[in-house]
């Protein structure tokens, strides 16, 4: 029986290290309080019997008790047998407590303790104790079976939970995959919506464009109808038949004039399309540069205009508008503003184009013009004269081509003119012939050939005498302006001159003979001369003659000319008066922008453009003119002739001035008068002798 007790104690005893884990379970707050107390009581029992079973092989009994507690806690389907079992364990504890093995020395082995334990048992109690132990064992086996069943059931539940967890993971994975697919589908949907929106916008623009084209088609149809298109071919045939019958009595000139009138009617267009073109073009350019713009249009042109004139005008407006959007900078509080006006005056259209750009770099333009050699260093130049170089085909700011040069060439070709000013914005005034090139031309002879020049480009024709012929001069002075001389044939002795005005240029063209002015009918289809690209081989006139056509724009591209400069020359009646010596004429000039001077008119021999001979020394300046070597003085107190633009030539010296202002008559007085009064200011009189 002692062996049985010993075996029971071996199986009932737990290793203290394993009890720590069970104790942690007992400390969980989820256990019922009475269950936790019973478990602690069981721990005390195990600790009390542990010294008698140091050699135990397992702790199944204690483990079964723990499983009982867990089953009671988790399942709540089993009655609480643990207190009764614990009482039986405590009973054995009381029986064995009398041995009190703790009083034994630590050196004694477990085998030595067993006899002492057996001696403390009462023989009469052993059968009952045995029965109790058997009963406990049977109950333990029964509990073990329950535990095994519960463990099996738990294992099934665990497997079910594992499968559910696996299924849940699979579902979660599929959910994530579906979310990913949903995101991709949603992204594709957004892209498709954007693409559809862009396509819809494109369709709307195409519809709008088609609508505009439809409106334009209706407008063109009405314009063609108003212009008599399609032409009445039968009527034309009848008119040509009449002309053919009249050829016997009429000259070829009349026939060509009739043909010219017919061509003019076919080429005529209404000016009303220009304002609409300008408005649409400005809106398009505004979107291109992303700059808002206000426009003001004021046109009063009622007559028909040649179709080529309208085409050129469209090109000019396009270039000017693009130039404004690129360079004009208005005030910060203002929006860009463009104005376009047009008026008709005889055979010309006079147009004005302006903006509200508040800033202009005059210094950069001055340096560019000076670098090209058109003005001298520190020379005074009027603002309008400097701005005119914007339309010069050589002057290019920062090496960039500008649309203004294209505008100038379009105007030069037909004899149109252009001027520019700056006053709170750039204002460009230009004129263009209503019939462009299909107008009257001036015929002249040069090198025994007949040439034609647009009459709109002719400002004046001159007959030279021996004194006024600029044969060996590069400048010609006319009506206050110094004009460059352009000679097409250096070998000829030319007795006539044509002052040509085209764009910003004015120049003298010496010719052999000036002929008549005629109407031009058409251009020849012959190819241009490669050696002289500024000459178109043939032009048909009303008289039937076919002269060479002079293309001014192409000519000015090949010959670099300076712009004309204001130098007022002496009038022919200067110094003469009906009253004898009662008055004296004085020439008033400007030395610099703020200083005036005067000299006696009768002492001035000639007025020339300012220039310095390369033989001048650093200290003394001389002027070489007509074989004479005259000392050159400056009317300005500054060194280096900074404002000199003209020269007054006297008998023994020359005087550099900025410009001639006026010629006035004052009462005669002392010959040594040192000042006169001009427009309320006292002006110094310069001596005219050395």
> Is 257's pLDDT higher than 70?
no
Q: How confident is the model at residue 333 (pLDDT cuts 50, 70, 90)?
A: confident
Between 24 and 391, name the one with better pLDDT: 391
Residue 116 has a CB neighbour count (10 Å cut-off) of 14
Residue with tokens 């020395």: 105
Q: Is the pLDDT of residue 184 over 50?
A: yes
- 258 or 666, which is more confident: 666
Supply φ then ψ for residue 678, to 5 degrees: -130, 115
Tracing tokens 């505004």 back to the chain, one arrives at 286
Confidence at residue 314, expressed as pLDDT on a 0 to 100 scale: 93
- Residue 54 is predicted with a pLDDT of 40
Q: Rounded distance, CA 590 to CA 636, Å?
A: 9
Mean pLDDT of 666-681: 78
Neighbours of 588 (CB within 10 A): 19
673 and 685 Cβ atoms separated by less than 8 Å: yes
> Helix, strand, or coil here: 484?
strand
CA 38 to chain centre: 90
Q: With bands split at pLDDT 50, 70 and 90, how would you rate the model's confidence at 2? A: very low
Mean pLDDT across 302-316: 87
Beta bridge partners, 683, equal: 676
pLDDT given at position 579: 44
Tokens 């916008």 map to which residue?
201
Beta bridge partners of 454: 441
* Strand ranges in 527-649 using DSSP code E only, listed in sequence order: 535-536, 539-541, 548-550, 565-566, 583-592, 595-600, 606-609, 622-625, 628-634, 646-649
Output phi, psi for 325, to 5 deg: -65, -25
Mean pLDDT of the chain: 75
- Altogether, the residues listed in the chain come to a count of 690
Q: Is the pLDDT reported for residue 10 higher than 90?
A: no
Q: Pick the range with the lowest mean pLDDT from 299-303, 366-370, 464-468.
A: 464-468
Q: Name the nearest CA neighbour of 46 among 20, 76, 75.
A: 20
Distance CA 98, CA 514 (A): 161
pLDDT for the residue numbered 229: 65
pLDDT of residue 400: 54
Integer angstrom CA distances of residue 293 from 282, 321, 335: 8, 11, 6
Cα–Cα distance, 35 to 463 (Å, whole number): 141
Task: Assign residue 405 a region (left: φ > 0; alpha: ψ between -120 and 50; beta: otherwise).
Answer: alpha
Q: What is the pLDDT of residue 459?
A: 87
330 pLDDT higher than 80:
yes
Whether the CB-CB separation of 289 and 325 falls below 8 Å is answered with yes
| Tens-place pLDDT, residues 82-94 | 455 455 555 554 5
Per-residue confidence band for 475, with pLDDT thresholds at 50, 70 and 90: confident
What proportion of the chain, given as a percentage, has pLDDT over 90? 11
DSSP letter string over 495-519? -EEEEEEEBTEEEEEEESEEEEEEE
Please report the pLDDT score of residue 117 as a whole number: 40
Report the C-alpha gap between 343 and 345 in whole angstroms. Answer: 7
Reported as type and span, the H/E element at residue 370 is helix 362-371
The answer to whether the beta carbons of residues 568 and 660 sit under 8 Å apart is yes
> Tell me, what's the pLDDT at 546?
79
- pLDDT of 468 > 80? The answer is no
Contact (Cβ atoms closer than 8 angstroms) between residue 662 and residue 588: yes
pLDDT at 156: 84
Domain 270-433, CATH number (from 3.20.20.70, 2.60.120.620, 3.30.565.10, 1.20.1740.10) = 3.30.565.10
Q: How far apart are CA 378 and CA 658, in angstroms?
A: 12
Please report the sign of the dihedral spanned by the C-alpha atoms of residue 453, residue 458, residue 463, residue 466.
negative
Give the tens place of pLDDT for each residue, 647-671: 899 988 999 998 888 888 888 766 6
Q: What is the pLDDT of residue 100?
A: 43
Contacts of 533 (CB under 8 A, 6+ apart): 551, 554, 558
Q: What is the pLDDT of residue 284?
A: 93
Q: Which two tokens stand for residue 301?
A: 């042109």
Give yes or no for residue 392 having a pLDDT over 70.
yes
Hey, how many other C-beta atoms are within 10 angstroms of the C-beta on 625?
Answer: 16
Q: Which of 32-41, 280-289, 464-473 has the lowest mean pLDDT?
A: 32-41
- 3-state SS class at 685: strand
Please state, in angstroms and rounded to a whole number, the distance separating the CA atoms of residues 682 and 676: 6
Cα-based torsion angle of the residue sequence 453, 457, 462, 463 in order, rounded to the nearest 10 degrees: 0
CA separation (Å) from 298 to 113, 139, 318?
132, 120, 17
Q: Residue 685: is its pLDDT beyond 80?
A: yes
Query: What is the spatial distance between Cα 628 and Cα 623, in angstroms, rounded to a whole number?
Result: 8
Task: Copy the structure tokens of residue 209.
Answer: 């464009």
pLDDT tens for each residue of 283-308 = 999 999 999 999 999 998 887 788 88
Decide: 373 and 611 in contact? Cβ < 8 Å. Answer: no
- pLDDT score recorded for residue 260: 65
pLDDT of the residue at 64: 55
Q: Which residues of 238-249 are buried (b: 16+ CB within 10 A; e: fewer)?
A: eeeeeeeeeeee
Instruction: Give pLDDT, residue 1.
Output: 39
pLDDT for the residue 25: 52
pLDDT of 577 reads: 44
DSSP string over 536-560:
ES-EEETTS--PEEE-HHHHHHHS-
- Work out the average pLDDT over 455-466: 82
How far is residue 411's CA from residue 323's CA, in Å, rounded to a whole number? 17
Contact 655, 635 (CB under 8 A): yes
Rounded to an integer, the average pLDDT of 568-595 is 65
Q: Which of 182-191, 301-310, 466-475, 607-616 has the highest mean pLDDT?
A: 182-191
Answer yes or no: is pLDDT of 119 > 60: no
Cα of first residue to Cα of last residue in the chain, in angstroms, is 165
Distance CA 284, CA 445 (A): 48
CB 145 within 8 A of CB 17: no
User: What's the confidence (pLDDT) of residue 24?
Assistant: 55
Residue 115 has pLDDT above 50, yes or no: no
Q: Which of 490 and 606 is assigned the larger pLDDT?
A: 606
| Residue 329 neighbours by CB distance under 10 Å | 12
Is the predicted pLDDT of residue 255 greater than 70, yes or no?
no
> What DSSP state is assigned to residue 568?
P
Which of the two residues, 577 and 443, has the higher pLDDT score? 443
Comparing 512 with 375, the larger pLDDT belongs to 512
Using CA atoms, how far apart are residues 561 and 555, in angstroms rounded to an integer?
10
Q: What is the DSSP string of 429-474?
A: EEEEETTTTSSEEEEEEETTEEEEEEGGGEEEEEE--TTT--TT-S
Structure-token pair, residue 3: 């062996």
Residue at token pair 């003394």: 620
Q: And the tokens for 170?
A: 């699979």
Report residue 103's pLDDT band, with 50, 70 and 90 as the boundaries. very low
DSSP state of 485: B
Does residue 108 carry a pLDDT above 90?
no
User: Is the pTM higher than 0.75?
Assistant: no
Nearest CA-CA partner of 11 in 42, 46, 54, 56: 56
Give which of 480, 439, 445, 438 is closest to 461, Cα–Cα: 445
Maximal C-alpha separation, the chain:
185
Q: What is the average pLDDT across 57-61?
A: 43
pLDDT value of residue 288: 92
């Amino acid at each position: 029986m002692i062996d049985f007790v010993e075996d029971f104690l071996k199986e009932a005893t737990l290793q203290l290290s394993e009890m720590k884990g069970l104790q942690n379970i007992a400390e969980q707050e989820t256990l019922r309080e009475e269950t936790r107390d019973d478990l602690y009581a069981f721990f005390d029992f195990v600790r009390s019997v542990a010294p008698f079973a140091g050699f135990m092989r397992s702790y199944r009994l204690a483990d079964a008790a723990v499983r009982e507690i867990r089953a009671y806690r988790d399942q709540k389907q089993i009655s609480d047998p643990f207190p009764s079992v614990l009482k039986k364990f405590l009973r054995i504890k009381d029986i064995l407590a009398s041995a009190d093995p703790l009083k034994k020395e630590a050196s004694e082995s477990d085998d030595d303790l067993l006899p002492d334990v057996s001696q403390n048992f009462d023989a009469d109690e052993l059968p009952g104790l045995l029965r109790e132990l058997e009963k406990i064992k049977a109950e333990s086996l029964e509990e073990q079976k329950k535990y095994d069943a519960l463990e099996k059931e738990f294992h099934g539940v665990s497997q079910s939970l594992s499968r559910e967890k696996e299924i849940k993971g699979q579902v979660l994975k599929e959910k994530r995959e579906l979310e990913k697919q949903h995101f991709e589908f949603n992204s594709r949907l957004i892209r498709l919506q954007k693409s559809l929106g862009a396509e819809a916008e494109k369709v709307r623009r195409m519809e709008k464009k088609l609508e505009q084209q439809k409106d334009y088609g209706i407008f063109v149809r009405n314009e063609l109808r108003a212009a008599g298109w399609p032409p009445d071919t039968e009527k034309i045939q009848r008119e040509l038949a009449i002309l053919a019958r009249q050829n016997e009595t009429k000259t070829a000139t009349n026939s060509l004039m009739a043909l010219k009138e017919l061509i003019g009617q076919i080429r005529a267009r209404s000016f009303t399309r220009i304002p609409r073109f300008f408005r649409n073009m400005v809106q398009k350019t505004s979107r291109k540069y992303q700059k808002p713009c206000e426009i003001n249009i004021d046109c009063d042109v009622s007559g028909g205009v040649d179709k080529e004139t309208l085409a050129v005008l469209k090109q000019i407006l396009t270039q000017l508008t693009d130039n404004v959007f690129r360079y004009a900078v208005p005030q910060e509080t203002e929006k860009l503003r463009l104005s376009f006006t047009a008026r008709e005056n005889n055979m010309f259209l006079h147009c004005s184009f302006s903006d509200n750009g508040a800033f202009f770099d005059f210094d950069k333009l001055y340096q560019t013009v000076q670098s090209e050699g058109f003005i001298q260093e520190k020379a005074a130049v009027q603002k309008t004269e400097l701005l005119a170089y914007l339309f010069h085909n050589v002057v290019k700011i920062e090496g960039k081509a500008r649309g203004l040069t294209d505008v100038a060439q379009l105007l030069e070709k037909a004899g149109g003119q252009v001027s520019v000013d700056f006053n709170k914005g750039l204002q460009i005034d230009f004129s263009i012939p209503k019939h462009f090139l299909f107008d009257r031309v001036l015929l002249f002879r040069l090198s025994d050939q007949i040439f034609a020049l647009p009459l709109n480009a002719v400002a004046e024709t001159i007959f030279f005498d021996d004194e006024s012929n600029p044969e060996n001069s590069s400048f010609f002075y006319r009506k206050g302006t110094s004009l460059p001389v352009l000679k097409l044939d250096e070998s000829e002795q030319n007795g006539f001159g044509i002052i040509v005005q085209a764009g910003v240029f004015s120049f003298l063209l010496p010719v052999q003979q000036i002929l008549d002015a005629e109407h031009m009918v058409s251009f020849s289809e012959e190819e241009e001369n490669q050696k002289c690209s500024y000459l178109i081989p043939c032009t048909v006139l009303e008289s039937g003659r076919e002269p060479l056509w002079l293309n001014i724009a192409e000519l000015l591209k090949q010959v670099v000319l300076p712009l004309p400069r204001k130098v007022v020359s002496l009038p022919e009646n200067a110094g003469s008066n009906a009253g004898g010596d009662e008055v004296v004429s004085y020439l008033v000039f400007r030395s610099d922008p703020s200083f005036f001077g005067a000299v006696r008119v009768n002492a001035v021999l000639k007025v020339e453009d300012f220039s310095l001979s390369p033989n001048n020394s650093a200290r003394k300046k001389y002027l070489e003119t007509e074989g004479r070597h005259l000392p050159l003085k400056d009317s300005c107190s500054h060194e280096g002739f900074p404002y000199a633009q003209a020269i007054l030539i006297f008998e023994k010296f020359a005087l550099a001035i900025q410009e001639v202002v006026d010629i006035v008559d004052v009462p005669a007085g002392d010959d040594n008068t040192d000042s006169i009064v001009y427009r309320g200011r006292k002006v110094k009189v310069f001596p005219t002798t050395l």
